[in-house]
Every structure is written in structure tokens, then in C-alpha cells.
Structure 1
Amino acid sequence: MAPANRSVKRAQSRLMELLGSVAPGSTWHKKLFLFAALGGGVYTLVKYYKTQKELKTQSGLVIQSPKGQERKSQKVTVDAVFFKRLAKIIKIIIPSVRSKEFASLLFLTALLFARTMLSVTIAEIAGKNAQNLVARRWREMAHYVFRFALVSIPAAFVNSTLKYETEMLALQFRKRLSEHVHREYLEGVNFYKASHLGGVNRIDNADQRVTSDIEQFCNSMSNLYTTVFKPVLDLILFTKKLVGVMGWASPMLMFAYFIISGTLKKLIMPPFGKLTAKQSELEGNYRTVHQRLIANAEEIAFYDGSRKERQIINLSFGDIYRHTSYVSYLRCLVGIFDGFLVKYCASILGYGCMALPIYMGIKGAAGKDTAELTKDYIRNTQLMMALAQAIGQLVLLGNKITNMAGYTSRVSELLEMVKQIKERGTSTFVIVDDDNMTGATPGTQSPIVTERYEVNNNEWLLQWKTRCDNLRQLKRSLSTSSTMTTDAGGGKFIEGEFIQFSNVSIVSPEGKLLVTDLNFEVKPKQNVMITGPNGSGKSSLFRILGELWPLHCGTVIKPRKEDILFVPQKPYLVLGTLRDQIIYPHNAEDMKRFGITDDDLQNLLSTVDPNNTIIRQWAWDDVKDWFNTFSGGQKQRVAMARLFYHRPQYAILDECTSAVSDEVEGKIYETCKTLGITLFTVSHRQQLRVHHDDVLMFDGRGGWEWTKIDHSQDHLNKPLSFK
């Protein structure tokens, strides 16, 4: 039996003994109600300790950082580190006593002091009104009602101005802190190093930290000052007033109670500081996935990756939902404890403290008539409740401080990481041999891998081609692309097994005519090389093929959208595992449904990475920021393995082999030929002509030219061979 369950059993056994001791006259349903109420309270306390233990076991949160390095999150709590960090930030937001922020702080202090004095005055007036009402002195009562009306005017002004000044102070803090962060973060190329060259100091979700986290911190800081200063001021003034009219016994009894309840609250308080920091991190991740969707919209659209991206975004929001639900549950439990112990029990104790002067005759209460006692009771009640509220706010202050500890941690980490990046300067990089990153001896290679790559690879690729043909219809069922449609007055798309452009003019969204009256036909296994100056319409041609742009005029015959795959120079790398990078936009469940294994993926990857440097360095289930983890060549190798995995009928290669060796590049084109993938290659390198049959050249002025490649000159275009 779990310890928590044993605790509940013991508590319930004890409760049964307590119920047995209830007065014999009690009915059974009263006992049952008492049992349910006390049992629920015990269960709540046990749940507190259980959840707190779970949080402690999860405190070693690991944040994945580029290049396989890891950084453990620092502990977020109210300790010496927190106060040290807070002091550094305060020096930024309040630079001197002559600053505007310090003047606002002084004005806010004056308003808080004025509100406390007005509260004391209102308590005196309320007591006098009660006395006059009981004694039926209507003239005096009208006088004090008039005084109350006069006092309410400055009271309304102070309360409204106090709220306004608190918000303005938070805004001034945010302005000062944001300008400081902008000055450090945007100095030189710090912003670039923070996201690309930061290493272990790379700033995750920098936009979240610079915007939302700073705002939350400044709001918490401004509210914290009013939360601390006013209760302390109320504590001093109301205690002094109560001692003068009631003696020391009642206020001291109230103090003792809150000290005990505050100590008990501290023992069972969950780590809201760490939970707040985690909440901010999850919100940043959620914002990041949406930004990635916008930044890579074209590549995602070419891959038909909306289904996969929806899964990623839903998972990210699911993390926020589960975490927020858990935090709300903890806050509910804390609220139950606060409401019962700090509010209601304190009120019960307050009534007892109010009765002491009357029944014990303290401060001359024994000789007073009913009207005077009523005045004292109403006045003392107002003062005692205000004192209890002030002490209660101090007891509950831990909640706000722990919440602010999370925001302080996030903002401080931002400042510290920017400082470290700035101090590190432009340190030189360590040279690493891409093919020997795992420690292998240069020039050597695993004989097993070599044999599979050299002897069995072509045979396996032919088997893979057959498997992909058999799975093509099943894979099409996963496509989210809609049926091709054409707006009125535009061109027409027709589904077919080849690609043909007839009288097509390519027009950009800005209305620029890029290509006029384009006519060509590409049959399967007829590779085409496309060249031309920048802005001549090369990428625009593929946006039409991918149905990202509408067809202005003419007719386009093309296969289904999922049978055309686009591979850009900087390939899109999805958030997820290494496996997800190969199978995107499919997921692991789709892969199992197709009967594809990790061994199949390794065979595909070994085609473009014969030394297996990628799979030997990372496991298939590793989750990293792959865009910053992979080198340029590794990104392109993974993108080509993704092409082989999907094995479309047509592929568009946009300078996607510029970062790999000539040998690997040649193997890529040979593999595409073996798999029966027809290629459109955007490139100006003449050595690639050997892998193509035709050239489509745009002149940048709306013209174009279709040329057949003469392969009798291939020996002049072959790249040099290096031994």
C-alpha cells in the first residue's frame, strides 16, 4: 500500500474514534456529515504532501540545447539567489533617487499612508454613528454622517489614484527594464549569437522573455510594493490604536494566531515559483511553434504538413493545458486553506478579542453604557478587522513572492545569458571533422556498414521502390490537400501522370509578369534543370506546381500534390525526434501503419550518409532543436533521406546539395534514378547537367528557352575526382 494511502487510512481510523466520542444525542446523519467533512480535509492535506513530493522529483528539469549539450534548470525558490537577482534588477528599474521611478514610488507611498489614515478616521466615524444610533441622538448622528460624506471624497480620490499609480509604476519599470534589455540584447550581433552561436548559453524563447516575462515581472514588482508597504503600515497604526483602546492582550493574541497559521502554511506551500517559471516557458514554446509555422509556411505547404503541424501545436497547447490545470488545482487547495485558516478562523478569533475588553472590564469598559459599548464595539471591530486583514495579507505574501520568483528567474536568466554571450565575444570555433564526430579514426569505416552500402544498397532500394508503389494509395489517404480548383477567369489544373504547362503566364502576387506563354512537357524519368537570374520566376514556377499560387491563365497538367515533393536549400526541420525529421509530415503511428521500421530509415539515411555519422551520434528518439544541432551538410542529407522515404513521382531540388560532397551528390542523383523519381533541379552548376535531360532557362524579362542536353559532352562537365 502506498504511503499516502496508509496516511489516509490512519487518518480515517482516527476520525472514527473521534466520531465515537461525539455526544450520544447526536444523530447518525450528523456524524456522517462530520466524518465526510473531516475526511475531506485529511485527504486535502495528504494530497498537498503527495503533489509537493512529485514536484520535488521533477525539479531536475533538463532543457535540450544545441549540439547535444544539456543545461539543468536552476532551482526557482525564495532564497539568497532570488534576493540577489532581485537586487540587480531593482538597480536597473530604479537607477537613482533622482529618477522618475523613485519619485513615483514616493508618491505611491504617500497615497498608501493617506489611505491608512482615512481608514482609521472612517472607523472612528462608524463607531460614533453606531453610538448615536443606539442613543437616538439624531442631530449628532447627522453630523457624523456629514463628516463621513466629506471623508469619502478624498477616500475615493486616494483609492482610484492608488490603482492608477500602481499601474503607471509597473509601466515605468517595464520601460526602464525593456530599454536596458534592448540595449544589451541588440548590441552588435548579440541577438544573432544568442540564437545561433550561443551554445549552452543560447536563449530559448527570447521573444517570450523580452516581452511577456518582463511585463509580468514589472506588474508583480509594482503590486508587491503596495502589498508589502500597506499591510506593514496598517499593522503599525492599527496595533497602536487598538492597544490604546483595548490593551495588549487582544492584538497579541491575533499576532500569535497568524504566526502559527503562517508557519503551518509555509510547511505545506507548493513551489509556485518554479511552477510560474514553467508556465512562462510553456507559453514561450507555444508561441514559438506558431512562429515556426509562419516562418516556414511555404516549405510546410509544399510538404503538405498541416496535419503534422496541427499535432505539434496541439501537443504544445496540451502541455500548457495540463500544467495550468495542475497549478489551478494547487491554487484551489491553497485557497481552501487560506480561506479557512486566514479569513474565517481569524474572524472567529477577532470576535473573541473584541469580547475581552467588555467582559473583563479592560480600559474602563465595565462602567460604560450600551451606547458607548456599541461605539467601542463597532470602532474596535473596524480596527481589528483591518488589522486582521493586514496580517493576513502578510501571511499570504508568500504566494505573491513565490510567483514573482518565477518571473525574476526568467528575466535574470535573460540578463545573465546576454552578459555571458557579450563577454565571450567572437571566440574561434573548434574544428570538427564532420565524418569523424563520433571519435572514429580518420580514413576508416565500419566494414559492416561499407559492405551493406556498396553491395546490398541498390538491391534494397529497388525493394523500397516496390514497397512505396504498394503504399502509395495508403499514403494518399493521409493527405490534407483539397481537390484542385480554379477561380473564375483563371487557368485550369488537370490531374495527370506527367507535367505539362500550356500557354501559362506566371504572375506574382504583386502583379508582376514573370514568365509569358510558358509551354513544356515533362514525362516520368525526364530530369529537368532550371536556371535563370534571381527573380526570373524559378521559385514561382514551383509555387504553381505546389498549388501555393493560383494559375493566372493557361492549363497545367500535373500529378496530385502529394506526388510532388519540394526540397529547398535550407530544409525545414520539424520540432520532434530524429525519426520525425525523416518521415515528416508523417508521424510514428503512420510509419508503423505502413510497416516501415527504423532499420528502413537507417538504410535510407546511409545512402546519403555512408559513414553513419548522424545515426551514431544521435538516437532515433532524441528530441533537439535540430535546425541548430545539424550542420549544413547534415541538414541536406536528412532532407534527401526524407525525399527517399516519401519517394514521390516528381521532386523539386532547389540547390539542396550545395553543402555535401561531390561523391554524395552523385549518389543522391543515382538513388533518385533508381527509385524512379523525376527531378526538377534549380542550379547554376554545370556539373549537374550530367544528371538531367533538358534545361529550362528564364531570362528575367518574361522570356524562356527549352534546350535538350547533349550528353556527348558529359565528360567535359564531370567534376574532378579526389583520391
Structure 2
Amino acid sequence: MSSLQLLQLTEHGRNLFSSRRRTLAVVSGALLAGGTLAYAQSGRRRKHREENPCNDANTRSKESISQNGVDGKVVKPRKKKNLLKSLHFLAAILLKKIGPSGTNYLLGLMLTAVLRTAIGHRLAKVQGYLFKSAFLRRVPAFTRLIIENLLLCFLQSTVYQTSKYLTGSLSLRFKKILTDLIHADYFENMVYYKISHVDHRISNPEQRIASDIPKFCAGLSDLVQDDLIAIADGLIYIWRICSYASPKYVLWILAYVLGAGGTIRKFSPSFGKLKAMEQQLEGEYRQVHSRLRTHAESVAFYGGENREESHIMQRFQALVRHVNVVLHENWWFGMIQDFLLKYLGATVGVILIVEPFFAGDLKPDTSTLGRAEMLSNLRYHTSVIISLFQSLGTLSTSSRRLNLLSGYADRIHELLDVSRELSGVRDRLMSRNSSAKNYISEANYIEFSGVKVVTPSGNVLVDDLTLRVESGSNLLITGPNGSGKSSLFRVLGGLWPLVSGHIVKPGVGSNLNKEIFYVPQRPYTAVGTLRDQLIYPLTADQETEPLSYGGMVDLLKNVDLDYLLERYPLDKEVNWGDELSLGEQQRLGMARLFYHKPKFAILDECTSAVTTDMEERFCNRVRAMGTSCITISHRPALVAFHDVVLSLDGEGGWKVQDNRNGSFLPTESEFDALKSSETDRKSDALAVQRAFSANTKDNTLSGPKEHSYSTQVIATSPNMEIESTEQPHLIPQLQCSPRPLPVRVAAMSKILVPKIIDKQGAQLLAVAVLVLSRTWISDRIASLNGWLLVCFPLLQELELAGVQFL
């Protein structure tokens, strides 16, 4: 081949390279213009949806949630926060409370980041030397480098797993800090109750505590790890490329990354708000499923599965609509992001890899050793450029990851703010209203003075109530449903705020305490041992006089529950709410009251599911303990055990009457006059009083107990001692072991195949076409990159050979 032909071939390679660069620029510009047009169309569609919200189901869902909350509850309006401000707030808390262990985790992550960069840099060097030794056919050097490469890979995997362990530990530390911080206010002043039943600004607080906090902490720790590695890689490889090539390559990479990052931020949707809304809808969907599980028996008795399914599907469809919006936003934005950072960035990287071997400091000479050095430098320079692109790209995309994390941060910050506000309401109210006599003070009796009971929605149930319950006296509260009987004790216990008036009670603070014990209609049964149920809410460490086994037997015998000692081991933890019936739970609540022996007992329909005999024994035992009862009941038989009757009419009115003389009710003429002049609500309240009066005169509890039940036997169970000659009935057994895999696949096919043919066939075909197209495009890109990395150096070598020949 003549020198002229060599020079012509070299010139042809240069022209081809320049023409390909021009073609690449044109294609990139076309794709960028297409992406811009798609974004503009998407923006117009979003604007059209905002102008026509009736056509957008997702918009309706968001408005319904923001205005009505969950299940139609009114949510107080609140100002939108700056999402990054919430992120900065939480980050400041984490740094302040991170402690020595968290600091050690951060220092360990910094050290592992430096070690990963150093090992990765050495691996790039060794792999470059492998190319050189293979080209020169130096077997001993190649073997030694292979062994070193294996050792470095082992070290890199060790450092990588250590970094993952430290990242997980840091995430766990972050999770503990935020969880402890929220729990400190969440369990203070009964915020856990007020946040769901009084305030209503936050729905599904358990979703934010149990789901949002772990996701936020895991994402934040991963971001810290990735950014530390990116910083270490960037510093090391910038220094290396400046030492053997030229700083212009760093400037080109930095200019490209900044330009691409700025373009991405310009087009980036509000992923933080989208993520926050997605978590909100997921929490509501999970809540309705949890609600169905809690009330499954009642729903099954009513046959209301269709109604519940409709309600659950409404929440699910709202979630699906929002996820479709998120998928659409991710689709068009991911198309722009992948093009700029992944594919166009890879092409720019190839150009930066090859360019120094044409006109830079890495131009090879014509010797065999020079060509070997060129292969080694090419491999090393490729690793440096790729690592720089990855590190700077990681730093540039951190803003998007922070935007995603800010969605979780806003929800967590809001929960913290509301919890702190509600936990401090009592102190502020007491300090502000002490001069106006709207406060709670301590004494050995219970007194309401000018107290107004108002629901969280603003309805007045009881107005200007004045009542005193001395120690040793018993109060019975009557009235129609919804008149405020239980609500009165929500105010006494601090569950609802004291709007006006003065309350005096034993104990300090606004909550119920050991001096005032509350026994509801369905007593709370915690998961634990039988002993734990009797001493609740105390724990074994909080007992001043530990409950002995004999004491347990006596308490359970008093309520006819001693058989539980034989049925369940003493140290066995049981979910008693699933094991005991309502009547058994009420008797367990009575035994719990006998153990605590309070001065005052608030009995809220706590004997509605037990026998009359058990109710009488219970009242006698409470009277013998010297405990004053404040009873809410619809059983007129309990009038005989109470001294004072408080009647509520349901419209704010009330009446206190003495029952010691047995005549606390109006006459017949008074009742008729009231019925004709007052509202139906007050007439219903008086009807309740008359029922109590009639039952008091009958004095059913004073008669013999055998007259309380029917004594005529009309049927009895068969004699079980007689041996039956019939075959026993076969009891169906559930299949506990899984069926074989082919059977399961066949059963699943019967469900999926018709749906695939009807609805999803086109989608599956589109996915298959996209996968094949992506594979073909990737193969073509790899071919072009190989041509650029191999053919261009060969052309450069031909050019050098031609010059040498001349």
C-alpha cells in the first residue's frame, strides 16, 4: 500500500468520524425537540384537566380527600408547606440527635467510600495492565495480574457489603430517632385519640409512623451513601485525568452534566407531592381493609359484603387513578432523563474516551510496546471517564431523589407539628383560662361547675352543668341515645377539651387515673397473659402490691371466670379479644375494677351482656369496696343501687334528682304537660325516666331470684353417655399442604388466560415489541461503540505508519 493510499484512508476515517458526530448532533437535536414537544403537549393536557376538573376523576379524588378527609370527616384547612423546608427540618433533627453511634456510622460510610474508590481505581489500572500483557503475550505477568484482580474483587465485595451494612444501620438509627420523637408527643395527653377522633387534620397517622418513616429513613441513608461515593470518585478521578491528560475533559463532562441536570430539573414534575398523595391513598385503602377485618363478623351476619366491596373498590380505584397519573409523569420525564443522562451521555463518553488518542497526550507511537500501552491506557481511560460520568450524574440527580424524599418529609413533619400542638393544648388552656375559672383542679370529690359539653364538630350536648358527686354516693345517668352521657366523661377524662366551666376531681391533670377507673361496655383486652388483663393498665414493674396466684383466683371466682385458669396457662400470651365473648370480657372488666379498688368507678353500660344475678353481685361488691359509682345504663333495675339521678334530654338540658326518698320523677299530669309543650327529644328523655320509675316501684331485685327465670323445661339435650351405634359424622378438613405446581399453574391459567385475551393481549404484545426493539437498539449501540473504540485507534495507527514510511 502506497503512502498516498494510507493518507487517503486516514483522511477518510477522519471525515467519517466528523460526519458521524454531525449525524449524532442532528439526531440528538431531533430527539430533544420531540421530547420538548411531548412535554408541551403534556403541559397543555394538565392545564386542560385543571380547567375542567369534572372530567378528571383523580382531581375529584384529591379534592374529596383534601376537603372531606376520610369517610366524610371535615378537615381543617391548612397552608401548604415548602416540601424542602420539611426535609431540612427533619435533617436538622437527625443531625442533632444522631449520637455517637450514628456519627460512627457516618464516618464508616466515608471510609468505605474512599476505600471503594481506591480499590476501583486500582482495578482499572490492573485491567489495563491485563490488556497490555495479553497483547505482549507475557504469561507470568498476566497470571500475576489475574490473581491481583481476583483479590481486589474480593476486597471490593467486602467493602461493598460493609457499606450496605453501615447504610442499613444508619437508616435504623434515623428510624429510631424519628419514631421516638413522634411517640414522645403521640402518647402524651392522649394525642393518639385526639388526632383521629377530635382534630381530624391527619388521617391514618399509623401509615405515617409505620410506613412513611421507614421509607424516608431508608431513602435518606441510601442518598447519603451514594453521594459520599460519588464525591470520592469525583475527587480522585478528576485529579487523575488532570494528571495524565487535560483538564478540558473534566470541564466537558461537568458542562454536560450541569446542562443535562438543569434541563431535567426544568422538566421535572413535582414528584414529592405525587408521592405524598400516593401514600395518603395507600393508607386509606389499607384502612378500609383493616376496618373490614375488625367488623368482619357483623358484616357477615348482615350479608353486607357487596356494600363493603363497593366501598373498598372506590378507594382502590382512586389509588389506581393516581398511580396512572404517576406512571404517565414518570413515562415522559423518564424518556427525557434517560436520553440525556444514559444514552446521549454514553455517546458523549465514547467521544471523550477516543479523542485523546487522536490529538491528546495519549497518542501512541508505532512500536509494538506503544500499541500495547495504547490498549492499556484505553482501558484505564475508559474506566476513568465512566466513573466521572457516574459520580457527577449521581450528584446531579440527587435533587430529584430529594424531591421524592420531601413527600415523605412533609407528611412526617405535619404529624410532628400536629402532635406537638395537641399535646400542649391542655397546658395552654389551663394557663389561659385559669383566670376565667375554666380549668381542672384536684379534690377528693367530683364536681362539674358550669361545664359545657361540646362535640369536636361544635354540637352542644350539655350546657352549664353543675353537679357534685361526693365520695360514698352513687350517681346514675339516664337519657336518650346521643344525649351526652358518655361524652360527659370524655371531658372529665381529657379526651375532649373543656370548653367552659370548672371541673374538680381526684388526681392531677386532666386524664383519668387510678382514683377514677373507667369500665366501658366492651373492656379493652390487651394481648398478654391472664394476669396482664387483671392489672391493666399497670405492668408487672409498676405494681406496688404484686398480684399473687391466690388473688387471681379470688378475683376470677367473684365474676365466675375461674375456669380460665384451667383453660389457659398462666404464662401464655393470648389475644383475649378473639378468645372471650362480650359477656366474658365484661366480667373480666369487673375483675379488673375489683383489683384496682378506685375511689370512683365510671361504669358505661358495663353490665349489658351479663345476667341479672351477676349484675346484682357486681353492684354489691362495688358497694362493699367503698367505691362510688357513676353509672351509665339503660337497665332500670340499677336505680336501687344509686342515690342521685342525672337526666339528660339530648338538647343541652339536664336535671339532677335525689333518689333516697324513692320519688324523683314527675307525676302523670306533669309528664302530659311536658309532652305537649316540649320537643319530642325531651319527651323521649322523660319516657326513659318513667320506665325507671315503674321498674323501681316493682322492685324486681327485691324478689326471689328463682322468679327471675322461667322454670318450665320444654326441651333438653340428648344423653351423651349412651353409645351411639351410628357412624360418626365426617368433619371436613382443610387442605394445609400446597397443591403440586402443575395444578396451581393450571388453576391460575383458568383465571388469567381469558383476561389476557380480552383486555391485556395488546399490552403484552406491546411489551414484547418494546423488549425486542430495545435489545436490537442496544446491540446496535454496542456495535457502534466497538467500532469507535477499535477502528479509530487502528486508523490512527495507519496514519502514524504512513507518516513514518514517508
Superposition TM-score, scaled by structure 2 size? 0.50
In 2, distance between residues paired with 1:55 and 1:410? 26
The answer to whether structure 1 residue 322 and structure 2 residue 321 are counterparts is yes
Offset, 1:393: 1.5
The answer to whether structure 1 residue 238 and structure 2 residue 237 are counterparts is yes
Query: Which residues of 2 match residues 579-598 of structure 1 at below 5 A?
Result: none
TM-superposition CA deviations, 1:152-178 (whole Å, max 9, x none):
121111112212221222122112221
Q: Closer, same or farther in 2 for the Cα pair 1:536/1:250, shift >3 Å?
A: same
Offset, 1:417: 0.9
Query: Which residues of 2 match residues 123-272 of structure 1 at below 5 A?
Result: 123-198=124-199, 202-272=201-271
Amino acid of the structure 2 residue aligned with 1:400: R
Offset, 1:706: 7.7
In 2, distance between residues paired with 1:700 and 1:169? 71
1:687 match: 691
2:117 match: 116
Instruction: Pick the aligned partner of 1:536 from 607, 610, 614.
Output: 610
Amino acid of the structure 2 residue aligned with 1:158: V
Q: Closer, same or farther in 2 for the Cα pair 1:336/1:405, shift >3 Å?
A: same
Q: Closer, same or farther in 2 for the Cα pair 1:510/1:144, shift >3 Å?
A: closer
In 1, distance between residues paired with 2:390 and 2:109? 20
TM-superposition CA deviations, 1:508-559 (whole Å, max 9, x none):
99688989xxxxxxxxxxxxxxx99443269xxxxxxxxxxxxxxxxxxxxx
Instruction: Pick the aligned partner of 1:71 from 61, 73, 77.
Output: 77
| Residue aligned with 1:335, SS | helix
TM-superposition CA deviations, 1:469-498 (whole Å, max 9, x none):
xxxxxxxxxxxxxxxxxxxxxxxxxxxxxx
In 2, distance between residues paired with 1:285 and 1:703? 53
1:45 match: 39
Counterpart contact for 1:166–1:223, Cα < 8 Å: yes
Equivalent residue pairs, number: 458
In 2, distance between residues paired with 1:194 and 1:252? 54
Offset, 1:668: 7.1
Query: Which residues of 2 match residues 14-33 of structure 1 at below 5 A?
Result: none
1:27 match: none
Offset, 1:44: 3.2
In 1, distance between residues paired with 2:705 and 2:285? 44
In 2, distance between residues paired with 1:62 and 1:513? 38
1:414 match: 415
Counterpart contact for 1:227–1:397, Cα < 8 Å: no
In 2, distance between residues paired with 1:160 and 1:412? 32
Query: Which residues of 2 match residues 545-556 of structure 1 at below 5 A?
Result: none
Counterpart contact for 1:354–1:381, Cα < 8 Å: yes
Offset, 1:194: 2.3
2:599 match: none
Counterpart contact for 2:284–2:315, Cα < 8 Å: yes
Where structure 1 has 5 or more consecutive residues not aligned to the other structure, the ranges are 1-32, 443-507, 516-530, 539-567, 571-630, 635-660, 671-682, 708-723
Aligned CA RMSD, in angstroms, stands at: 4.7
The answer to whether structure 1 residue 293 and structure 2 residue 287 are counterparts is no
Offset, 1:367: 7.2
The answer to whether structure 1 residue 84 and structure 2 residue 88 are counterparts is yes
Amino acid of the structure 2 residue aligned with 1:71: P
1:484 match: none
Offset, 1:386: 1.0
Superposition TM-score, scaled by structure 1 size? 0.55
Offset, 1:362: 2.2
Counterpart contact for 1:235–1:387, Cα < 8 Å: yes
| Residue aligned with 1:362, SS | coil
In 2, distance between residues paired with 1:166 and 1:245? 35
In 2, distance between residues paired with 1:632 and 1:290? 38
Amino acid of the structure 2 residue aligned with 1:275: L
2:380 match: 379
2:371 match: 370
Q: Closer, same or farther in 2 for the Cα pair 1:248/1:533, shift >3 Å?
A: closer
The answer to whether structure 1 residue 398 and structure 2 residue 399 are counterparts is yes
Counterpart contact for 1:273–1:405, Cα < 8 Å: yes
Counterpart contact for 1:125–1:148, Cα < 8 Å: yes
Where structure 2 has 5 or more consecutive residues not aligned to the other structure, the ranges are 1-26, 52-58, 439-450, 464-576, 585-604, 613-631, 635-647, 652-676, 712-806
TM-superposition CA deviations, 1:405-445 (whole Å, max 9, x none):
001111111111111112222637995999x9899xx9xxx
| Residue aligned with 1:211, SS | helix
In 1, distance between residues paired with 2:117 and 2:317? 45
The answer to whether structure 1 residue 333 and structure 2 residue 313 are counterparts is no
Amino acid of the structure 1 residue aligned with 2:609: G
TM-superposition CA deviations, 1:356-380 (whole Å, max 9, x none):
2211132565677211111111100
2:680 match: 664
Amino acid of the structure 2 residue aligned with 1:314: M
Counterpart contact for 1:261–1:341, Cα < 8 Å: yes
Query: Which residues of 2 match residues 249-648 of structure 1 at below 5 A?
Result: 249-297=248-296, 300=299, 304-362=303-361, 365=364, 369-425=370-426, 427=429, 533-536=607-610
Amino acid of the structure 1 residue aligned with 2:337: D
TM-superposition CA deviations, 1:279-312 (whole Å, max 9, x none):
1111121222233334445665565433222211
1:504 match: none
| Residue aligned with 2:355, SS | helix
Counterpart contact for 1:92–1:176, Cα < 8 Å: no
In 2, distance between residues paired with 1:701 and 1:237? 93
Counterpart contact for 2:649–2:681, Cα < 8 Å: no
Amino acid of the structure 2 residue aligned with 1:46: A
TM-superposition CA deviations, 1:619-664 (whole Å, max 9, x none):
xxxxxxxxxxxx9969xxxxxxxxxxxxxxxxxxxxxxxxxx9843
Amino acid of the structure 2 residue aligned with 1:153: F
